Chain A
Amino acid sequence: TQLLEQSPQFLSIQEGENLTVYCNSSSVFSSLQWYRQEPGEGPVLLVTVVTGGEVKKLKRLTFQFGDARKDSSLHITAAQTGDTGLYLCAGDDDYKLSFGAGTTVTVRA
Chain B
Amino acid sequence: GAVVSQHPSRVICKSGTSVKIECRSLDFQATTMFWYRQFPKQSLMLMATSNEGSKATYEQGVEKDKFLINHASLTLSTLTVTSAHPEDSSFYICSAFSQETQYFGPGTRLLVL
Contacts and interface: CB of A to CB of B under 8 A. Distances in A.
A and B found bound together:
yes
Interface stretch (A11-19, A62-70, A74-82, A97-105): A97-105
Contact of A88 (B6, B34, B43): B43
B72 to A, nearest CB: 21
Contact of B44 (A41, A43, A44, A45): A43
A63 to B, nearest CB: 16
B43 to A, nearest CB: 4
B43 A97 contact: no
Interface in A50-109: 88, 95-102
Interface of A: 35, 40-45, 48, 88, 95-102
Contacts, number: 44
B32 A42 contact: no
Nearest to B2: A45
Given A42-B93, A44-B104, A96 B109 contact: no
B100 interface: yes
A42 B107 contact: yes
B104 A42 contact: yes
A41 B46 contact: no
B97 interface: yes
Contacts of A35: 104
A2 B15 CA distance: 35
A102 B101 contact: no
B101 A45 contact: yes
A97 B42 CA distance: 15
A41 B106 contact: yes
B104 A96 contact: no
